[in-house]
Structure 1
């Protein structure tokens, strides 16, 4: 049975491609979700499982994150990079002492699982698709605590998003003062399909409020929280401040580590993340991939956009590092140009953290 079938029966629920888009009022759902009064069935998130005695050391060797000492119930986040340091996959991780459970974007799940299966070699690991076993429900930590999270090994499977706290071995490019992520309170519970059906029954009876993916994504965008859905084939973790929560800069080697270290220590990310306050109505929101220009020059692209319940129409965009901080930006949407005021997230000077002494040129006289 489709786990979302019970949700589809809730009055006002709009489901597309197995994802609850909204439950009748996306703006009100944002308020309720942020205030802990609603829960969001996340059909765009699926669960992969990695069993076996070597699972944590194996995942650590493949990824950007140090998780070999992860204790049961502890939350983490990891990235899988290509050989050039670009982001290929991302996963939230919670381990229960027997299995590492990965919560991933549905569009990324098949590719990540296929790659993990290829990388098993002779280690004691067993990656598998667990989307038919468990479903994901998100909300504030307090709201999610009311759910009966699955606990196959006795540890409730709840992932608490560490964003925007800088983890051990991590690094922050965006300043913490005034960071909107300081108000970000997000957790995801892995529940049995029967628990989701119970939740839908409570919503149908008027005893529980639901929120859709539109509301959840708007809150994420306002918190400057990166997601694999935002990534293109060129994305470096530095460009979206993902070194905060998903990268350990001092762990052992992994694919793409050389680029991560080089950009962080000696160079600068070629693009920088900005938050855009858009002019105009919510009927003219940009789409992912819409161009961002300064005057007549294209300087970047929109990676996510939303109508926020407090901030109005907003977007996240990646622009060239050289784009002036005071540049008047315009987003070229399908319905025409939209003026945008930029708020700096990643400063142009991010990176180059190593203090490298300058070597005088040969023959130079003092």
Structure 2
């Protein structure tokens, strides 16, 4: 479904979603990719994320049922609260990532574009005799996101609630809600809004009239990369386990057992060393084309990981997320890494190091990469 906001001046559609779903339904940007990022970091922007899939789960057994199926502790989730959760394979590999909101007898799960059909189908097959009615409702509901230090001012001016704590959810007129999310970028406030799809244009106009400025999903992606916020399918692959990513702290309850894949999560957590780690990397930026998600990262002739989302950041230059082998990250000195012909340097703050010399050398390499980045 093409968003009505894609007809706004300057809109350039997303042609291929990093998670693998070809969308063309929302804007990558509105003609000013880097200024849109700056507005998000310094003011407030409205990002159209109506390509995200939405699954609604009403029914009195919904929370205990979802608790048994996912990595998160949902059984006693209060009304007006949210969280994140994963669906894992029997071997602990991440199959689905959802952001949760529970309000007035319905649990809402929003997930990556194109992932909702498979998720809703799997949930339907797992109902058995329980009182739950999972349904894909993307046709009826859409997600919008406000990002920026002035987010609360815009919500107040638009007459919308202002949840205070991360994942707090408050109802809006028409059955939708506002959900506070953890900050992006360097502590940038973020809220999601669930809006009736027929009201997307009207809600957007109200928010724009209250002081927000339109920005595309590329601006959101840049701040998400800076915050080490992975996306399923772009920053993960079929072998990814939660322990390799920040999802271990945001979407996994480590004291909860008896869910599919739990044994792998617990074993790797107790060992304290996952096979790979998600890290921020700096790229030389010499090519006009950014490497796509899944591009192998090599050290000499050896493949040591994969790139995920790569963006042109308004301050950091060309950066991305990468899943790299823990053994590689622990080497001193760190070997030279490449993605094809592109030089890849791990951000010093993400290195596992024991000597100051290693940190200083990594920082010098980051400076050299940034100086070669387009637009720096």
Distance in 1, matches of 2:210 and 2:185, equals 31
Matched, 1:238 2:243: yes
* CA apart distance, 1:347: 4.3
Deviations 1:331-355 (A, max 9, x none): 324xx33343443537499xxxxxx
Instruction: Return closer, same or farther for 1:107/1:343 CA change in 2, 3 Å cut-off.
Output: farther
Is the 1:73–1:155 contact (alpha carbons within 8 Å) kept by the matching residues of 2?
A: no
Distance in 2, matches of 1:133 and 1:120, equals 23
Is the 1:287–1:302 contact (alpha carbons within 8 Å) kept by the matching residues of 2?
A: yes
Pick one of 222, 232, 252 that aligns with 1:247: 252
Pick one of 164, 182, 189 that aligns with 1:185: 189
Q: Secondary structure at the match of 2:280?
A: strand
Distance in 1, matches of 2:208 and 2:146, equals 19
Instruction: Return closer, same or farther for 1:281/1:81 CA change in 2, 3 Å cut-off.
Output: same
Is the 2:61–2:131 contact (alpha carbons within 8 Å) kept by the matching residues of 1?
A: yes
Pick one of 307, 310, 328 that aligns with 1:305: 310
- Per the alignment, residue 78 of structure 2 pairs with 71
Deviations 1:120-171 (A, max 9, x none): 00000000011122110012352673565894899852232246xxxxxxxx
Pick one of 280, 283, 299 that aligns with 1:278: 283
Moved more, 141-150 or 86-95: 141-150
Q: Secondary structure at the match of 1:221?
A: helix
Query: Structure 2: any 5+ residue segments left out of the alignment?
Result: 15-23, 162-169, 355-376
Deviations 1:290-337 (A, max 9, x none): 12122332211101110001101001111111102642433324xx33
Distance in 2, matches of 1:62 and 1:102, equals 13
Q: TM-score, normalised by structure 2?
A: 0.79
Is the 1:75–1:161 contact (alpha carbons within 8 Å) kept by the matching residues of 2?
A: no
Q: Which has the higher helix share?
A: 2
Query: Structure 1: any 5+ residue segments left out of the alignment?
Result: 164-179, 350-366
- Per the alignment, residue 359 of structure 2 pairs with none
Moved more, 140-149 or 336-345: 140-149
Is the 2:299–2:338 contact (alpha carbons within 8 Å) kept by the matching residues of 1?
A: no
- Per the alignment, residue 362 of structure 1 pairs with none
- Per the alignment, residue 215 of structure 2 pairs with 211
Instruction: Return closer, same or farther for 1:58/1:204 CA change in 2, 3 Å cut-off.
Output: closer
- Per the alignment, residue 225 of structure 2 pairs with 221
Distance in 2, matches of 1:153 and 1:43, equals 18
- Per the alignment, residue 364 of structure 1 pairs with none
Deviations 1:46-71 (A, max 9, x none): 21100000001111110000112112
Deviations 1:252-278 (A, max 9, x none): 310000111011013521111221111
Q: Secondary structure at the match of 1:243?
A: helix
Is the 2:185–2:225 contact (alpha carbons within 8 Å) kept by the matching residues of 1?
A: no
Count of aligned pairs between the two proteins:
329
Moved more, 27-36 or 279-288: 279-288
Deviations 1:16-40 (A, max 9, x none): 4212111111111111123342110
- Per the alignment, residue 322 of structure 2 pairs with 317
Distance in 1, matches of 2:146 and 2:13, equals 19
Highest RCO, 1 vs 2 (Cα 8 Å, sep ≥ 6): 1
Distance in 2, matches of 1:7 and 1:111, equals 27
- Per the alignment, residue 350 of structure 2 pairs with 345
Q: Secondary structure at the match of 1:113?
A: helix
Moved more, 311-320 or 43-52: 43-52
Superposed, 1:321-332 pairs within 5 Å as 321-323=326-328, 324=331, 326-332=333-339
Superposed, 1:1-366 pairs within 5 Å as 2=1, 4=3, 6-16=4-14, 17-140=24-147, 141-142=151-152, 145=155, 151=171, 157-162=177-182, 183-201=187-205, 208-229=212-233, 230-266=235-271, 268-281=273-286, 283-323=288-328, 324=331, 326-333=333-340, 336-343=341-348, 345=350, 347=352
